[in-house]
Structure 1
Amino acid sequence: MGHLRSRPSWNFQRSFFKRPSSTGSSPRAEWCKTKLTNRALISLTGQNSKSFLQGLITNDTDRILSSPSATFTAFLNPSGRILFDCFVYPVADSQPGFLIDHDAAASGQLSSWLRRYIIKNPIKIIQEPHEIWALWPNHIAESPQQFELDPFSTSLNRSLWRDLRGDGSLGYRTIGNPISHLGLSDVAALPETSISDYATHVLLKACLPQSLSSPYPINLPFETNLDYHRGVDFRKGCYIGQELTARTYHTGVIRKRLVPIILRKADEPHLDLPSKIPISTTFYDEELRLSLEAAELEPNECSSKSNLTNRTKSIGKISGPILRVGNQILGLASLRIDHELFKTINDWPSLTLIKNKNWKVQPIKPNWWPCFSNLP
């Protein structure tokens, strides 16, 4: 495999962390690193790799080649549903090429699916052994700039890519162990967290599971907020699955979207989210996920605004994963954001499981959504 596109290197290093704020607190303690063992890399190289990939993904390969940030995108089937979501990075070599950062569990299926479309193109598809890491800020910032690393240091290494999904606080992704990268020597001092810690951060800040790849039950680009994550380019040419995606975009009819939720038993008090994720207290609750998967939701009885009939009273459903975070339970739900309950400028009302009144669900309003006051 060729090397990632790189900028000139230098003979010295310095901290990639911004200098401590005037309060005297150290920003180093507020950043974490996570080895993403649930991710894998496929390299796609060859003279026609750019045009080949352009016809398969929802984003634009020109953006991938020019952007200093990680480019989020998806492969769709002909009916416009997500097969695989991924990041794509450019590769510098004598021939054009790309690295596809994807769900490791879907690696074999993705490789086979790509090979179906090679036909006579001289394209090489290789599964790469490199590690993928996330560097992320576990703190509340006063400004978006506090979620950024030192721009001088990040320019030294093009194996480091800003993750712009969600509210902009997901941090960075790096290919290979970041400790070995030029300009990233301070990473060794960061606490290494679990996949579930990082998954909690992504769920809260970007309304996303760790992967949208099949068999994740929500597979429409807009319902998974792919457009809000800069994952779709509506000006590029044709690609597989474009027809439904473009039609939905231009008609503006988007009724459902993924949002984070807090679950609690009906007899338990509501707890506010902590300002930081309590590291090492998070874990996936697979048993609870299986018992609540696709459970339909309705407004609380005390919600007088609801005009839903008994036949159509469902306004969403739980769509996993379920994460235990300290003494709280977090998850995702696909909600009918076209309903009047979710057009309020205030916090969203709590919901109830239609078939299990013992559970209450509190949707977390994603205030980072574009044009929130005029949701489609």
Structure 2
Amino acid sequence: TAVAQPTLAKDIKSRHTRRFGIIQDVPAGVRVTAAHEAATRSLSACAHSQPRRRRRDNMAARRVLSLRGADTSKLLQSLCTNNVATWLEGSAPALAAAFLTTKGRVLADACFWRHDDAVLIDCAAAAAPKLLRHLKMYKLRADVKIRDEADLDVVTATSTLQNCVVSGSDPRTELLGSRGIVEKGTEGEAPGLYLRRRLALGVAEGEELEGAVPLVANLDALNAIAFDKGCYLGQELTARAKFRGQVRRRFMPVALHETDVTHSAARAEPPADPVPFAPLSVDVPTVGAKLVSNGKDVGKLVAVSPESTAAVADVKLDFALSGEVLDVRVEGSDVRAAPYVPPWWPEDESE
């Protein structure tokens, strides 16, 4: 992947001011690199040290549900954040979406797949029971048969998948690689690779999203929300936050360090196969640990891995995109964290 040229912090901030509704001046002339320096070095070193074979990762933390029947599209259209009707009329194999509570918080994220006369739902294993209850509660007398497909698994890879029931590029961002559904028992490779890649890109999923505000969790930027569709359960909070521009926090990738951070946030350009950083030599902070700068809370960790210094945090945008050098202490540990802008963040306000 080509590395972008150095960019003024003002340019980065202005793009995200338009996109995310954040208003704050950035000192003119502040210069940032086009990639988070430490992140890019580590990503590149790891990627080039890996064999060039195809890697596949079994997703034990995911489950597959299926919906069949004449009212499948109508039911999903009324309950999820994306436009299922338009998707089913097209040819894309997969669609990213989320189911919300009545208060507009994330109940479960999902990846929809078309397969014969069914829609397959790839969702977090922990969320599957409550999602099943949710679907059945709102199904009422609709012509929809809902089933837990216990004989199917979800797999991911860094290149094209084969021998799958269905497969394709991850609908959230192609940087996550390929994704597919396979018969249970299909052998996978490189356990944990997908998790490390996902954290390096700052993408939260599963239990990490539970209870989150959809826009704070970047579901709009990850192609999981259609703002031009009709009403659906929990829509009001999402629509209000979008059209009033009241998004003050976002989930962002952070690089964890054992020493002081000396660089500022910038748009990262990972290599084609972004295998993130080596593990810390100290204990990894826990999910929920606060990020503190100059005595002020600026965020909290929402996803971590003991195998990597890549993590995802819920961060205040006026802080993260200020163009200043970021030196964030993870409360209760000796670890510091530096947020950086993931390459899939939109550069302007177009959807």
| TM-score class, shorter | 0.7 to 0.9
**CA separation in 2, counterparts of 1:208 and 1:259?**
8
Is 1:332 the counterpart of 2:312 in the alignment?
A: yes
Verify the 8 A CA contact 2:260 2:327 in the aligned structure 1. Answer: no
Instruction: Report whether the alignment pairs 1:172 with 2:178.
Output: yes
User: Which aligned pairs between 1:1-376 and structure 2 lie closer than 5 A?
Assistant: 29=52, 31-65=54-88, 66-93=90-117, 97-128=118-149, 129-137=151-159, 149=160, 159-166=166-173, 168-176=174-182, 192-194=189-191, 196-205=192-201, 207-209=202-204, 211-213=205-207, 216=209, 219-266=212-259, 288-290=284-286, 293-299=287-293, 313-325=296-308, 329-339=309-319, 341-344=320-323, 349-353=326-330, 355-356=331-332, 358-371=334-347
| TM-score, normalised with respect to structure 1 | 0.68
Report the secondary structure of 1:169's partner residue.
helix
User: Where does residue 140 of structure 1 map in the other structure?
Assistant: none
Distance 1:217 1:164, change over 3 A: closer
* Cα distance, 1:112–1:217 mapped onto 2, change above 3 Å: closer
Residue type of the partner of 2:203? L
More contact order relative to length (CA 8 Å, sep ≥ 6): 2
Paired amino acid for 2:135: L
The one-character-per-residue Cα deviations of 1:64-111 (angstroms, maximum 9, x if unpaired) are 312424211000001110000010112323xxx311111112221111
Which aligned runs of 4 or more in structure 1 are off by greater than 4 angstroms? 177-180, 215-218, 267-270, 272-279
Is the CA contact 2:101–2:234 (under 8 Å) kept in the aligned structure 1?
A: yes
C-alpha contact (below 8 Å) 1:200/1:323 kept by paired residues: no
Q: Which amino acid aligns with 1:331?
A: A
- Larger C-alpha radius of gyration, 1 or 2? 1
| Alpha-carbon distance between aligned partners in 1 of 2:292 and 2:87, rounded to the nearest angstrom | 41
Q: Tell me, which stretches of 5 or more residues in structure 2 are unaligned?
A: 1-47
- Partners in 1 of 2:213 and 2:184 — Cα distance? 34
CA positional deviation for 1:61: 0.9
CA distance change for structure 1 residues 363 and 218 in 2, over 3 Å: closer, same or farther? farther
Letter of the 1:295 counterpart: A
User: Structure 1, unaligned stretches of length 5 or more?
Assistant: 1-24, 138-148, 181-187, 302-309
Which secondary structure state, in structure 1, belongs to the residue aligned with residue 87 of structure 2?
helix
The Cα shift of 1:298 comes to 2.8
Closer, same or farther in 2 for the Cα pair 1:331/1:47, shift >3 Å? same
Q: Which deviations, in whole Å up to 9, do the C-alpha atoms of 1:224-282 show, x marking residues without a partner?
A: 11001100000110100001111111111111111111222347999x99956669x77
Deviations 1:318-373 (A, max 9, x none): 22233423xxx22111101133x5142xx8623123x447321111222431126x
TM-score (normalizing by structure 2): 0.72
Change over 3 Å in CA distance of 1:364–1:30 after alignment to 2: farther
